[in-house]
Amino acid sequence: MMYLTPQTYTINHYPPHWGQILTPSSRARRPSPLRLWAGDNEAFTKRFQWPRFYTWLKAFTPYKNECLFITVPDVVCDPIATREQFDHYSPIIRELGYPVAFVAQDGQEQMTWPEFDALFIGGSTEWKLSTATDQCIQYAISKRKWVHIGRVNSQRRIKHFQVIGANSVDGTTICYAPDKKFKVLNRQLLQKPLFTMKWRNNV
């Protein structure tokens, strides 16, 4: 499983299973060379502005081949509004050549699904750790889509989503004590779980 960090200055010293998650607020003028990266829309931090986000995406198109996904603008904890945003903005982002990530919110397990390239698990912490979210992850895996989990800052959560079958996670805790946190998180990333969930393909 990959860990995507918002760091822009130490990433090149990390192993290959570490990548970047960048936003218009990142100081990086480009993704770090030879690294996979993803783009986040900043809805969770309430900094999202479409003109700013679109301008940033256009500037980063030379690096789109290394991009895992771009999160389509979403509304935190609101699956209906998020779907409306996805239907509006995803075609525009796809036209730039990026793979698009649908950000699942609380209650998505009861909703219909759009066409997406990656599933980003957002929403509340309580929902993220629920069996409802497991169902959403199961659906994405059955469709052979990339699965990413946001806000994963502990060994316990890494282990949880390793078992479920996520492809990548992100977190900010490493930014506050890079040397110490890297060793802790990387140890868990390298430790293979004793078992993983075997999802059926007829979801």
The DSSP-derived string for 89-130 is: HHHHHHHTT--EEEEE-TTGGGS-----SEEEE-S-HHHHTS
For 2-190, the fitting CATH number among 3.40.190.10, 3.40.640.10, 3.20.20.60, 3.40.50.300 is 3.20.20.60
Quick one: pLDDT at residue 201? 52
* pLDDT band at 203; cut points 50, 70, 90: very low
Distance CA 111, CA 162 (A): 25
Token pair 């998180």 is at which residue?
A: 185
* pLDDT tens profile 149-166: 999 999 999 999 999 999
User: In DSSP terms, which residues pair with 143 in a beta bridge?
Assistant: none
Structure tokens at 69: 């996904």
**Integer CA distances (angstroms), 121 to 38, 168, 181, 192, in order:** 14, 11, 23, 22
Main-chain phi, psi angles of 175, to 5 degrees: -70, -20
Rounded to an integer, the average pLDDT of 80-96 is 98
Q: What is the mean pLDDT of the chain?
A: 93
* pLDDT tens profile 17-51: 999 999 999 988 899 998 999 999 999 999 999 99
CA-only gyration radius of the chain, Å = 16
Q: Does residue 22 sit in helix, strand or coil?
A: strand
Which uninterrupted H or E stretch holds 148? strand 146-149
Q: 27, 8 in Cβ contact below 8 A?
A: yes
* pLDDT tens profile 56-68: 999 999 999 999 9
Structure tokens at 70: 């771009």
User: In DSSP terms, which residues pair with 170 in a beta bridge?
Assistant: 4
CB burial of residue 173 (10 Å; 0-12, 13-18, 19+):
middle
Quick one: pLDDT at residue 179? 87
Main-chain phi, psi angles of 111, to 5 degrees: -105, 165
Q: Does residue 19 sit in helix, strand or coil?
A: strand
Token pair 């935190």 is at which residue?
A: 76
Quick one: pLDDT at residue 144? 97
